[in-house]
Each structure stands twice: as C-alpha cells, then as structure tokens.
Structure 1
C-alpha cells in the first residue's frame, strides 16, 4: 500500500483559488496573485450559455500563459452534462496540470478519465483531481483513492465540496461544521492511505475573514494540505495557516539534528530534552522541513 510518507506532493497546495472560466478579467489578474494553485472552473461557476465562452477563455489563457510554475487545474462538467465531451477535448488541447472531476461518486469515475487520457496520449504529468461532494463519494472515498493510485497513478488530489454535501444530506449550516467533521475526516483518511493531497472545502465567507480563518485552523488540525478558495482576499490567510509554524519548524530542526548526531543515526528512539522521540517523529520532521523548502522556493519564484 502507498502511504502518505511515500507520496506526499511535490508542490505546496495551501491555497487553491477557483475562478469562473467565463470571467476573463479575473483570469487576467492571476499573475499578481500568490495562490499556490488555480482552478479554472467550467462547471458550477459558469452559466449554461457561457460554457463555450469559458472554453475560449481557457484556450486564450494557455496560449499566453505567464504564471510560471503555479499549478493550473481545469474543472470540467460532469459526464452526464452535454458539455462533457467538449470539455474533455479542451483538456487534451490545452494540457493543464490537472483536470478536476466534479460530482465523483465511485472509482469508475476516476478510471474512466484515466483511460480517456491514456488512450489519447495525454502526458503522464496531466493529473486527475476529484471533487468529493456527493454522499457516494464519501462512502466510497477509500476505493476512489485506491483506484486512482493503482490504475495509471494519475489521481493526485481529493477536494472536498461541502456546499453540495450539505444540500444532498440536509446538514444545516454551522460555523463549527460539527456534523460535517466525519465526512471531512473520511476524505483525509482516504487521501493519506494512498498518498494523495487533500484540500478542505471552500468557505463562503470572503468579506468577514474571521469564519474563514477559523475553518483554516480547523482544516489544518484535521490534516488537510490546503483550502479551496472563492476569492483572492482568502489567499493570504490560507497561505499562512497551512504553512508550518515557526515553532513546528524549530521542533523539526531539533529532531533532525538529534537523530543526525553520531550514534543516533540508526536509533529507533532517543531522548530529547526529557522526551522520548521515535524514528517516526524523525521521518515526520524530515517531511515537514521538505514542505517548508517547497513553500519557500515557491515564494522566491513569485
């Protein structure tokens, strides 16, 4: 089984900003934004009569792309939509970093897209992201994550969609997300079991950032890698809260230094300032410091 320690993502994904593909003015501002990743959305954020214009805007963006190493993902319409075929053809044409599948329900949704990409000679670097926003997606989270990793390895990320889950389950709005926590943790477990990135759901609050930042703190505590965003005002908060803190970095550096001391290199557990620290903590510290280097590298290139 592939684990979190084996397959943690090469790129930070603290802030994943979703923009309507039908809004060229918003897309034009991407170069000035510090989001780690951007989703150009052809699905929920785009009206039915604007879908083709959205595809044209995406073509224009990729023909003049100027935002360097930032990940760019295109969210297509689901397989039952009349726009699905045109969206898939667009993916093959522009070759984004990933295609985001909405309304995922079962492993076959991932396998079908993986087969389509392989049959059409899409590069292996073109990944699949999955929106976990249906009750069946939560029930099938483990098999969805496993299928993505064992069938071509294209599945890279699970993104929670709580607005749709609330609608389909009847869970009432609650700032603490009390009754949604089991759904969120199910996605985290599935992602960690098979080495996938896990992205927390959007917060609908972008004028009052207090509730948004509370969700960031909660999502980080749950183990999410980052948060899906709906407004540029949310970028700075996500980047801050999903970055390891100075205290975490200092503790990780202390652990790595201690295990690097002569005689400790092969130890399974050592005493650090009166606390027993195991090798698994050393491995966690190495991953955390690698993540910090990835984030710092991205900040220097902006």
Structure 2
C-alpha cells in the first residue's frame, strides 16, 4: 500500500510539474530550436569512443564563430524555457560537458578561455580528486573562477538507474536515487559555493518518476542524450542534447547545429 501511495505521489508531482511548467513551460515558440552540444573527453588522438580530438573541437568552435552562431550559457536557455529570461539570440548554441575528465582542464579549458565561450560542466563528485582520470576540486574551482564554467550535477557517482532498479528492492532503489540526487547537489554546493539546480542524466537514463524525484530534490532542469534540438515542446526535465564523437565533424557537425534542420547527411568521406 505504501509503495502504491508513493507511486501515486510521484505521478501527481509529474502532473503538477506539467501544469506549472508545461513542456518546456510551452516556451514562447515551439518552432524555435537550440542545439545543446555534449562533449566528454579531449586529446590529440582518439583514446576511446567518447574522445573528441582537440583539433576537431577547434574546428567546431571556428565553424560556429565563422557562421554567426552565438554560444550562450545553458542557464540562459533554461531561463528562457521557464519564461524567466529574454528571447535568445538567433543561431544560439549551448555547449555542455559530462563527467569532468581531466582533459577538460588540460585541453578544453585553454580553448574556452581563448574563444571566451560559456560552458556547463556536469560533475559526479565521487570521482573528483579521487579517480586518476578526473579533475580535482582545485581545478574545478579554477575553471569556475574564470566565469566561463557553470558546474552542475551528474548524480553522485554516475549512477546507472536502469541496473539499480533491477538489482535493488523498491525501497532500496528509492533511497539510492534520493542519495544520488541530493548528495551530489549538496557536495558540489559545499565545495564550490555555487547554486546547483540542473542535472544531466547518466547514460541518458530517465523516466517520469526520476524527473519527479529530481524536481523534489531541488533541480529545475534536467538533460538527456536524446539527439535533437531543444524546442518549446520539450519537458524542462528532459531537455535533449547531441552527444558528440570525433566523427561529428565537417558536414556532420554542420547538420547538428543547422537551423532550420536540413535532411541529415549520409555517412561518408564527404561528411567527415
């Protein structure tokens, strides 16, 4: 009975969220769209499937600059979706990064400073100053101090909610989800002295119940890896992003940021 009541409460919260904040709060014009780009790691060579080489990242920034795109802070897009901010510039683009890999500091940070672009970094705190692949707290403070990095949550230890739900009891799962959402937020706010109220879903795993729990925990927006541009038809807790790999260059990258969207180019040398 208790479980049924909890499910009902979560469902009711989703309904209330959709009433108070309808799909992207029915942002001003559902025909408008903004691409959110998602990066993970950088380097001189492709170390894994999530690596975008530094030269390819530079080519992305150069293309945006040469073609009149405006890189805006993620916060501006969220405020606009929530009807708390002014209209966005034409050809707006948002840049995000997940995980806080050490190459964000060594490879990306110098370029962010060079091009003076705002970015949002989603972090899972358990790795910071612990894992050899991750940034340190001092590095996070340094990039935040630049004024170009907004640091937000990626759960506490990059939770796989799909696996957790299968192997845990419902009570254990609910407790784990609450911990992942709340502990990440509180730790980041304590270490960095900034408001943390946005989250990106690890592995792109989300559902209405998780969205409701995130809202309960104090998050105002959440981000997926659904591969399309943000429009007014999108839920504020399910905003899509383009996960970029090193193959997304040339025509493939141009298609991702294009407005209005042309037909997607076919894979091939001409799209590299």
User: What interval of TM-score do these two structures reach, taking the shorter chain for normalisation?
Assistant: 0.3 to 0.5
Structure with the largest fraction of helix: 1
TM-score, reference length from structure 1: 0.41
Q: Which has the higher contact order (CA 8 A, sep 6+)?
A: 2
TM-score, reference length from structure 2: 0.45
